[in-house]
Amino acid sequence: MLYCLLYAPKGIHGPNLMTAPPIETSTKLISGDELLAMGDSGPCELIDGEIVSMGPTGGVRSFLESKLDRRLGAFIENTKSG
């Protein structure tokens, strides 16, 4: 079982450091074709043959993704590295 730590700014859902819900992974390695044949497995990724459940979107996660995207975009424009 994997645990993820998320950083959230003060004032957004309490303390600065939160623990995301555990992410379950499979133990049997599978191929992309096998994953496709399983039908709807919910939001997940296939990483090195393992199914990794993806966390829900929205809320703090979306806020942090948007903030990261804006900062990366500004950095690329300012340094002309894009």
Looking at the structure of the chain, the number of domains it has is: 1
pLDDT at residue 70 greater than cutoff 90:
yes
In this prediction the pTM is 0.41
Tell me the mean pLDDT in the region 60-80. 93
Report the distance separating Cα 6 and Cα 63, nearest Å.
12
Which of 64, 70, 67 is closest to 6 using CA atoms? 64
Residue 48 structural domain: 5-79
Q: Which of 9-18, 28-37, 39-48 has the lowest mean pLDDT?
A: 9-18
